[in-house]
Amino acid sequence: MQYIGRFAPSPTGHLHIGSLLTAVASFLDAKANGGAWLVRMEDLDKPREVAGAADDILRTMDAFSLHWDGEVVYQSQRHALYRAALEELKRKNAVYPCYCSRKTVQENGRQGIDGIIYNGNCRFRQPNNPAQKTPAWRIKTHNQVIVFEDKIFGIQQQNIEQEVGDFVLLRADGEWAYQLAVVVDDCHQGVTHIVRGSDLLLSTPRQIYLYQQFNFSLPEYAHLPLLTNAWGQKWSKQTLAPALDLSQKEQLLQQVLAYLNLPQPIPDENCNALLQWAILHWDIQKVQPQAIVCGG
């Protein structure tokens, strides 16, 4: 079996315990399956990006002996690929320009599972004089249920038309939406297995829908349990996840391996030896979907 996995951090801050869990699990799953493990910096969201964070993340991964294969890919250098993908969808009449303001979308839509469901105004009634405004581009969704089996969360299903609505691929301000960029990149990089945080579980049907539009073959999915603070909030930059203390890196790695249900006792070794041991003992079926409360 050919296996290409990846870790795709957004350089919005330091690596924290939650992103370490994702990095370690995607690395172990790739290596235990004799696969390659790629790293892609998802640096499309310029306002949220923190200067120096991408290099800091890579240095931290190196410190944990999480060594990736090939060159790091930066989304900010791949606009031409996203543009070509959108052009393909335009040719297929699968997308349409949307001139509605954020306010109109909010006022006329209804609440969905991941934000407001667009009421489809521009899909059915194109404005007469659109030339003065740069549109966003939305994909047409259809009344169809997308079903997939996640290796950790089991069977998932979603009707994207009814639960999410026609979603944006290119924003009116010219920024590419995560949903489009992630699918185009995973396809171009030949990614066969996606192991990532379960905050993205709800996005997966939208991404599968895009794979279908492009006639790309689907990857396998495994979504990891979230690590939360005592209030049940996912550790992230917004919840002030502390930076990893590299003087404690072996303990942090042991902690993460315990969350992933590696067999006890976890040896007392340096990071490289710990990872080699974990590759031999890795069993994705043992990872449980329930969120884990931890100190960060």
Q: How far is the CB of 10 from ligand GLU (least distance, A)?
A: 4
Phi first, then psi: give them for residue 85, nearest 5 degrees: -65, -40
Which residue's CB is nearer to ligand GLU, number 27 or number 96? Answer: 27
**What gap in Å lies between CA 169 and CA 186, rounded to an integer?**
16
Q: How far is the CB of 147 from ligand GLU (least distance, A)?
A: 20
Which residue's CB is nearer to ligand GLU, number 200 or number 281? Answer: 200
Which residue has tokens 């072996």?
A: 250
**What gap in Å lies between CA 39 and CA 58, rounded to an integer?**
9
Q: How far is the CB of 215 from ligand GLU (least distance, A)?
A: 20
Radius of gyration of the chain (CA): 20
**What gap in Å lies between CA 275 and CA 162, rounded to an integer?**
43
* Edge-first strand listing for the sheet containing 73-74: 4-7, 36-41, 73-74
Which residue's CB is nearer to ligand GLU, number 9 or number 225? Answer: 9
Which residue's CB is nearer to ligand GLU, number 172 or number 200? Answer: 200
Which residue's CB is nearer to ligand GLU, number 158 or number 254? Answer: 158
Q: How far is the CB of 197 from ligand GLU (least distance, A)?
A: 6
Q: How far is the CB of 14 from ligand GLU (least distance, A)?
A: 12
The distance of Cα 207 from the centroid of its chain, to the nearest Å, equals: 10
Q: Which residues bind ligand GLU (CB under 6 A)?
A: 8-10, 42, 182, 196, 200
Q: How far is the CB of 212 from ligand GLU (least distance, A)?
A: 17
Q: For residue 209, what are the CA distances in angstroms to 118, 145, 155?
A: 17, 10, 16
**What gap in Å lies between CA 276 and CA 31, rounded to an integer?**
9
Which residue's CB is nearer to ligand GLU, number 19 or number 141? Answer: 19
Question: Are residues 162 and 143 in contact, defined by beta-carbon separation less than 8 angstroms?
Answer: yes
